[in-house]
Structures are given as structure tokens and as C-alpha cells.
Structure 1
Amino acid sequence: MINDDRANSSWVARHLLDLNETCRKIILSSEANNLSHLGGVLRLDLDIGVWEERLKGRPETKQLGDARRELAFAIFAASTGLYRLAYAGLRVFLELSFAAVYFSANELHRRQWIGDRKDFSWTSALDMESGVLSKSFVREFTPEAVDDAAQYARVAAQCYRHCSQFVHGKDVTTGLLPQSLAYSSEIVTDWAVSGRHAAESVLYLLYCRYSAEIFDLEDTEVCNTLEHSFSHLRSIRSLLGLPVEGV
């Protein structure tokens, strides 16, 4: 029996190590062919991390940290050929990020959610009348962001739906996935575009909710996170003291 167990253990180890080697080769292909796409998502994650650092001590920051961890796993999955997991992780990243901001203005709901007495509703969080990127919500925290918030709500909703198609096994999307653990430049690019849109919508959401509390022109790190992704928006350029003519 001991010998059989050892033989089985050896077989399992070889199988897992073979998969690991396949993933290593996929990483090299991803790095060689999709570096700018994946790097763009990584940079946005770091930008979100700057805001997370400024928000330390707030109750909802735990959910934001969990969201970034899911994004990190999703980036790794996208780089190693675990594509369905990559889309699933990106969806969780969106859910937890928007939940963090929703809970920041709904402490009772946050406590009920943590206590497993109430669920978080993605649909409610994206509601155009009362959601966290609705005019009524944004106006109370960053009025100058009201005009642009709706477009980022639409982007987040579209990204969430796209990821959900992979999660639920919709043939229109999962039919594009490799049938085995293998590299696909097209899928990595598609995921990275979704990842960039998701991360930008989250970063804009953080700006809408917290800029009045943490923004400081002397804080170059925070300023850079906004300039990286939103320098095309008049409200952001005005905030950063950049020229707005012709924008």
C-alpha cells in the first residue's frame, strides 16, 4: 500500500509539473506577443493601489484590497493560458471594487453583507438612477465628474457581461477558447482589453467617490494615476491644472 501511494504521488507530481511547464511556455509567449496589453493592465492595478494606500483605515478598503488580489490572479491566469479563470477573476474584481464604493456610503448594508445577511447586487450598483456612477451619487462627492460618469458605468456593465459569458459557458465566447491548455494571442488581447476597461472604470469610480477627500496637487502619485488614464477629460485636466483648450 505504501509503495502504491508513493507511485500515485509520483504520478500526480509529474502530471502537475507537466502542466506547470506548459504554463511556463505560455507565459513566455504571452510576454513576447502581448507585453504592452498585459503591462497596461498591470499599470492600472498599480494606479488603483495608490488610491487604496490613501484610503487605508476605512472599513471598505478591505473589499478594495480583495478586489486587487483577484485582478492579480486574473492577470496571472491570462498569462498562463487559464483563460476562463482569467475572465472569472476579472468579473470578481469588478464586483468587489464596486461593492467597496457602494459600501462606503451604505455602512448598514456593508455590515449585513459581511455577516452574510444580505447580498450585494451588481445590478443595483450600476443602476443609472441610484448606482455608484449615477448622477445623483456622483454629484454628492465629485460634481465635476457627473458628465463623464455614465460612460464608465456603461463600460463596466459591458465588461461584466462579456466576462459573464465566459463564466457561464456561452458558446459564442467559450468557443473561441483553446480546447487544451495552450496559448492564444487573440484571447490574451481580448482579455487585456476587457481588463483595461474594467480597471479604468474602477479607477474613475474611486476618483468620483474619494477625490474630494484625498486629492492633493502636491501628491504626484495620485495626480499621475489620473493623468495616465483620463487626460482626455476636461474635468480631469482642469483638476490637474493642464490646458483644456481643444479638449
Structure 2
Amino acid sequence: MDHIEQATRSNEAEINQVLHLEADLAAWLEALESKPEAQQFQSAHRDFGLAFYAAMSGLYRQAFSNLRSFLEVTVGATYLSSHEFKRRQWVSGRLDISWKAITSTESGLYSTPFLKEFCPEAIDEQDEMLGDLTQAYRRCSEYIHGNVSTSQMLPTEISYREDIAKEWLSIAKSTLKATMHCLMVRYYKDLSQPLRGIVEGSLEDHFSHLVSARKLLGLPVEGIRS
């Protein structure tokens, strides 16, 4: 409890930002609750909750591990939703998630062929968003697999480390935003108008600087960077 109190007291602004993003993610999961992959989304959401608790409790390696699990499962389910046969094999345990396949520039979630079918408005943003996705995954992996630089940073006992807590919160923010962008790319155009209304606030809050989101929301795009 002492650790949690210190972590929350020292990072109140950052924590509020993470919780705001998490609430927006929950809105997306509500809009997608009828999808076949909804169960995987909910499971990943629980992983994020565990990651947050671990980060606030000083269990830093576990915090990064659960954060990566959240990212893998959410983005993996989003990608495999367009490959029903493979999705069913994944759910039944006959196929493992392939991060290489998900991030493939030829056929992955941000490949040009995929975006042309689901969200051509985001084609000009594919390099930037894929970069955000892979960077978050890579940093989590460095903590999980005992990278020398990160291993030296981790305390040998449960004790508060402000630098690690702040990094986790920063990566959590970028992870949540990256996953919501993936959900936008894959699902927004398929949602009914009432369901779009559930998630439009999150798009305007976090992606109104992107041409893709502004086009999808019907906002003016003149003078906005792609």
C-alpha cells in the first residue's frame, strides 16, 4: 500500500491520462461486443488492468509483461478478425499469434492492401502508426526478456522507482492509443451509426490531428497534416 500511494501521488497527471484512455478503450469494447472476437478483447482488457495494478505495486517486469499481452491479444484479434479461418484456429489453440504477420508491410494490419479494403483514409499514416505499434511492443519485450539495460534498471526487491513507473505509464499511453487506432482502421466503417456514436468521442480526443480520423468523423481537413 505504501508503494501504491507513492506511485499514485507522484504520477497523478499521467495516471489520469492513462485512465482516460482506458475508459475510451472500454467504449470501443462496448461497441464491438457483438463481434466474434469480443471475448478476446475482454480478456486482453483484464490483462491491462493487471498490468496497471502491477505497475503501481512495483512489480515492474510483470507490468510490462501484461501490457505486452494486452497489446498482442487486442491487435492480434483485430488482425485475425479479417481471417476467419485463422481466427478460429487461434481461438481453438491450433494457431499462435504471429507478431511478424500482424506487422507485415505486405499483408499485415497496416499494409497497403489491408488499408485499401478497410480504411484507405489511413494509408498515408501507415508508417507512423506501425512505428508506434512496434516501438511499444519492442520496449515491453526488452523488460520481459531481460535486456541488459532494462535488467539493470529493475530493483532487486519491491521498491518504488519513479523512472520506471513513468516509463510504464508513457508506454501504456502509447499502447492504448495504438490499439484504438487499430480498432478504428479495422472496424469504424463497419459500425452502425449508433455504435459509431459510442466511439466518436475517443477518435476526436486522440486522433483529430490525423487526416484519417477527421475524414471518418466528417471534420474539416484543410491545414491538417497527414
CA distance in 2, matches of 1:215, 1:79: 38
Q: Which runs of 5+ in 2 are unaligned?
A: none
Tell me: CA distance 1:243–1:172, structure 2 relative to 1, closer, same or farther (3 Å).
same
CA distance in 2, matches of 1:149, 1:71: 25
2:204 aligned counterpart, secondary structure: helix
Q: Alignment partner for residue 228 of structure 1, among 196, 205, 211?
A: 205
CA distance in 2, matches of 1:152, 1:44: 17
Q: Provide the TM-score with structure 1 as the length reference.
A: 0.85
Counterpart in the other structure of 1:42: 19
CA distance in 2, matches of 1:139, 1:47: 26
* TM-fit CA distance, 1:148: 1.2
Q: Output aligned runs, 1:173-184, within 5 Å.
A: 173-184=150-161
2:6 is the counterpart of 1:29: yes
CA distance in 2, matches of 1:37, 1:95: 23
Q: Output aligned runs, 1:94-109, within 5 Å.
A: 94-109=71-86
2:81 is the counterpart of 1:130: no
2:30 is the counterpart of 1:53: yes
Compare 125-134 and 33-42 and name the one that shifted more: 33-42
2:150 is the counterpart of 1:160: no
| One-letter code aligned to 1:61 | A
Q: Provide the TM-score with structure 2 as the length reference.
A: 0.93
- 1:217–1:240 CA contact under 8 A, matched in 2: no
Counterpart in the other structure of 1:13: none
Aligned length: 224
Counterpart in the other structure of 1:206: 183
Q: Output aligned runs, 1:77-156, within 5 Å.
A: 77-156=54-133
Q: How large is the Cα RMSD of the aligned pairs?
A: 1.7
* TM-fit CA distance, 1:215: 6.2
Structure 1 segments of 4 or more deviating over 4 A? 217-220
Q: How many percent of aligned residue pairs carry the same amino acid?
A: 37
CA distance in 2, matches of 1:152, 1:166: 22
